[in-house]
Structure 1
Amino acid sequence: MSDSTSGKTHVHHHHEGPAAFVAAVEHASEERGLRLTPLRKEVLELIAAAGKPVKAYDLLDQLRERHGNAAPPTVYRALDFLLENGFIHKLESINAFVSCHHPAEAHQVPFLICDICSSAQEVCDERVAELIEAQAKAFGFRPQAQTLEVHGVCKQCRKA
């Protein structure tokens, strides 16, 4: 992790892999007294292994390949649990899901989404959330959810 001079911007490089992420979620679930059922864990593993945003119906297709009888409501219930507990993020603009880089802590983060390869980079900079909160407060607005998605072209696609 490298910090900016303000100490608030964090650029995280996650080389641990999907298994380490799933283990971190299992640990966070135990600490919070949450039940990570086998299906919830399997959906989480599929999202972590994807390495980029994945759509619910792609998850359903993968589950059907493994089990044959997976239904949309079961996938959506698992996704709801994972979202509600901060283990994954939903990218609204592309209707897809990504694993959260910090499953043990509740936070709102912006994402940089590549319109060519569909990669999504979580931007860990608490100043963005603080600025939005301050602006909302100035307008007398109380935010309940925050999603900031910036679309463009990633470094790898720009090189290609």
Structure 2
Amino acid sequence: MAAHPHVLHEGESLAEAAAATLKAAGEQWTPMRAAVFDAISGFERPASAYDIAEAVSKAEGRRVAANSVYRILDLFTASNLVRRVESANAYVANAHPGCLHDCIFLVCDTCGQATHLDDDRLTGSVRSVASKTGFAPTRPVIEVHGTCAECGED
């Protein structure tokens, strides 16, 4: 994965970038997909499919099932629109959906915040070590648990 400038999106710009990325992948940006993306991008911390389903249900004024949200999250994950925090079974919006990087998360065990980092050298090393054993890595996931700076001040 080559180095390149990152364009970090937020707010309406993030939703537009997500829609463009999904459409470029040959998928449709439906109202339900937009509602799920709006919900997930509105959370300050990683959100579960149930949290997202509840937020979409409130916004839509009707019950939205978590299994419907899971299907959309699977598509969003495969399309690089969201990242999954594996240890929390939760999701965060990817602020640069046009960039492909392996995931590194710093997960605060106190407040639940997950900070996403990109370090292609580190994840490239993980891929290389795995490949040397004959293993074919598809998606390295690195999560570091600890205490964020904000919680560490307490």
Secondary structure at the aligned position of 1:45 is classed as helix
Unaligned runs of at least 5 residues, structure 1: 1-6
* Aligned match of 1:137: 131
* Aligned match of 1:117: 111
Post-superposition Cα deviations, 1:44-78, rounded to whole Å, max 9, x if no partner, equal 11111112101111111122223322112211111
* Aligned match of 2:51: 58
Secondary structure at the aligned position of 1:60 is classed as helix
Structure 1 residue 96: Cα displacement: 0.5
Structure 1 residue 13: Cα displacement: 9.6
Secondary structure at the aligned position of 2:83 is classed as strand
- For 2:45, give the aligned amino acid: K
Q: TM-score, normalised by structure 2?
A: 0.88
Identify which range, 102-111 or 60-69, moves more after superposition.
60-69
Q: Distance in 1 between matches of 2:12 and 2:69?
A: 20
Q: Distance in 1 between matches of 2:71 and 2:50?
A: 13
Secondary structure at the aligned position of 2:152 is classed as helix
- For 1:30, give the aligned amino acid: K
Q: Distance in 2 between matches of 1:115 and 1:59?
A: 21
Structure 1 residue 36: Cα displacement: 1.6
* Aligned match of 2:94: 100
Give the alignment's Cα RMSD to 1 decimal. 2.2
Alignment partner of 1:42 out of 35, 39, 59: 35
Q: Distance in 2 between matches of 1:115 and 1:86?
A: 25
- For 2:15, give the aligned amino acid: V
Q: Distance in 2 between matches of 1:43 and 1:19?
A: 14
Secondary structure at the aligned position of 1:28 is classed as helix
Secondary structure at the aligned position of 2:29 is classed as coil
Unaligned runs of at least 5 residues, structure 2: none
Q: Distance in 2 between matches of 1:96 and 1:52?
A: 9
Secondary structure at the aligned position of 1:122 is classed as strand
* Aligned match of 1:17: 10
Q: TM-score, normalised by structure 1?
A: 0.85
Alignment partner of 1:74 out of 68, 79, 104: 68
* Aligned match of 1:150: 144
